[in-house]
Amino acid sequence: MVKNIAKIILVLFVIGVCCAVPYIYSVISSSGVSEAITYNRVDTEENYVSFEEGGLLKVTEFNYFREFSNDERFDEYIYKNLKKFKSDYEVVENFKLKTLKRNDCKRNRCLQYKVSFPEIPVLLSKGLIGIEDYRFLDHFGVDPVSILRALYQDIKAGKFVQGGSTLTQQLAKNLFFSNEKTLVRKVKEAILAIYIESRFDKSDILRTYFNEVYWGALQGIRIKGVQAASHVYFGKALASLSAYESSILVSMLKGPHYYHPIRRTERLKQRANFIYKKLGDLGLYQSDDKWNEGDWDKWVNRLKELDSNYYLESVYINSSLAIKSNQYRHYKLVIESKSLLASKLDVNKNLSVKAVFGNREETTTYYSRFERDLERAITKERHQIGSTIKPVLYNFLVKLGLDMDDTVDMEPLTMVLKSGKWSPRESHQIEEKEINYKRALRESFNNPIIKATQEIGFDKMEAELLRVIPTLKVPLSEYPAQLLGAVELSVQELYGLYLDFIKNECSSGMSVISVLADPTKTTIKRIVSKQLAAQNFFGKTGTTNNGFDNWFIGFDGHDLFVIWVGYEGNRNE
């Protein structure tokens, strides 16, 4: 009888194993564990941003850029070249700073900076083991002792109060599964944890854990891995974290939302104090650097500013760009795109921003709607360009014989077209009866451009424009509104048009660019800052379609900026 029972048990065991093996194989083979845990550092060409003597930098903007820079030199090297004046830095001596760290995260709206195991401070690695999984070095991926202890606590409480997951199981869950608490998920998690332990060293597991774990989010940007968490939350590299700062990061691992630093500050503070004491009991730090209330207030205010000023999103956009030797990844691109994001105005979901930055050698594009096709938005979708066409037209007019110092009368103009009478309107009026063409360009008057074209000849202007705007309606004399910007171009097409304009200006003596180089005399004079007002740069605005299409073209002598801000909802409502 006993022998028969033993045979039955043996048969059932064999059947169970035979059924389990294919299931275990399918779980492992479909996971891609090896690719996820194998660490390959991608060495990239180092790019630098040059800061020139006499330049002005916003303190907050420069400090944030510095925090996310790939430059590991001591801050003293950087800041000795800067002199602070209220909210600005003046560059007192030329220096270079490495560009942003490369974003390793493949997911949308996510920041991750992978590190090797030796780069992880001992306080963090030993501290994590001591807090989360003190038997980590002894178990094989699943810890029966921890499972039994957790099961006892759950039965005692009559509900789920404690988990028995090891760090390896937590890693498997973070890499391959959701947080759904089901038996199937726990079984798969255990299978992968055991497989991971059989294939990789403990150091590989810890390194992957620190690189892949989720550390919350700010401004909708997911923070993945300890290095990204260190930069976002504390503005410093991992190696520079203090013991108390490390305690805060370990505390947040228990639940990044539950211990959110802005919304759950007091809860996080209590948890951090507990973890800090435990790390001290483990002998992982010597000197006491525990924060006081003032330190906490300063830190939370920093995170609130970072969460609200669009800088983190700009860092995400620009650090996600592929690193190439000709990649346009400069300090001013990060600052400009931050300003664009701020101008998007969250109160209107249909307000969008498109931009192209760069020069003839390198360009970068931006579109605020991540859910839509970037290339189509930048190169295919056209918008009416408004007054941005005027500098290009004056360049042609000068080439055809116009003297910018000549005067033009400001009397209203009426043209008789086949479609009827047409009169260009002005956005503002002046008392003078005559002005020169320089002022007409600076203040973006409409009548002078039409009168100058009449004098030079519509046919000659038409020939010039057809070379750069093939979609021009002809004859131009019957569609003169195109001279005032009733032409549709994509952001990329307008960028190309202005590259040609700048080339023509450089070869002809900068007659038009120099007219618009003083921002205190042009259409941007009411919004230009005091610092920019003291500098020379080319800038031209354009507003058309009742404010649905708004443009800014800028050129600083080296780089060109073409920016469109417009409404992409139903314009007929």
Task: Please classify residue 220 by burial: count the beta carbons closer than 10 Å to its beta carbon, then call 0-12 exposed, 13-18 middle and 19+ buried.
Answer: exposed
Residues 6+ positions from 209 with CB-CB distance below 8 Å: 128, 167, 170, 171, 174
Tokens representing residue 509 in the block? 């003596």
Helix axes 122-132, 167-176, angle to 10 degrees: 100
69 shares a domain with 14 = no
| pLDDT band for position 525 (cuts 50, 70, 90) | low
Output 228 or 537, whichever has higher pLDDT.
228
| pLDDT band for position 18 (cuts 50, 70, 90) | very low
Q: What is the value of pTM for the model shown?
A: 0.63
pLDDT (tens digit per residue) in 144-164: 776 676 565 655 555 554 556
Q: Classify 146 as helix, strand or coil.
A: helix
- Give, for 132, the enclosing helix (H) or strand (E): helix 122-132
- Give, for 48, the enclosing helix (H) or strand (E): strand 48-51
pLDDT above 70 covers a percentage of the chain that reads 80
The pLDDT value recorded for residue 157 is 58
| pLDDT band for position 468 (cuts 50, 70, 90) | very high
- Last residue of one domain, picked from the residues 290, 308, 326: 308
82 shares a domain with 20 = no
- The amino acid present at 124, given as its one-letter code, is L
510 shares a domain with 402 = yes
pLDDT (tens digit per residue) in 67-126: 898 887 777 778 889 999 888 898 899 988 888 888 898 887 899 999 999 999 999 999
The pLDDT value recorded for residue 310 is 79
pLDDT (tens digit per residue) in 425-442: 998 888 899 999 999 999
Number of structural domains, the chain? 4
- Last residue of one domain, picked from the residues 98, 133, 158: 98
Average pLDDT, the chain: 83
389 shares a domain with 293 = no
Q: Is residue 251 part of a domain?
A: yes
CATH of the domain at 297: 1.10.3810.10
| pLDDT band for position 41 (cuts 50, 70, 90) | low
Report the first-to-last Cα separation within the chain, whole angstroms.
Answer: 86
Mean pLDDT of 49-70: 85
301 shares a domain with 243 = yes
76 shares a domain with 17 = no
60 shares a domain with 17 = no
Provide the domain limits for residue 413: 383-567
89 shares a domain with 9 = no
Residue 398: pLDDT over 60: yes
Q: How far apart are CA 351 and CA 494, in angstroms?
A: 20
Residue 13: pLDDT over 60: no
400 shares a domain with 296 = no
298 shares a domain with 387 = no
- Last residue of one domain, picked from the residues 308, 324, 358: 308
pLDDT (tens digit per residue) in 184-223: 767 888 888 888 888 889 999 999 999 999 999 998 889 9
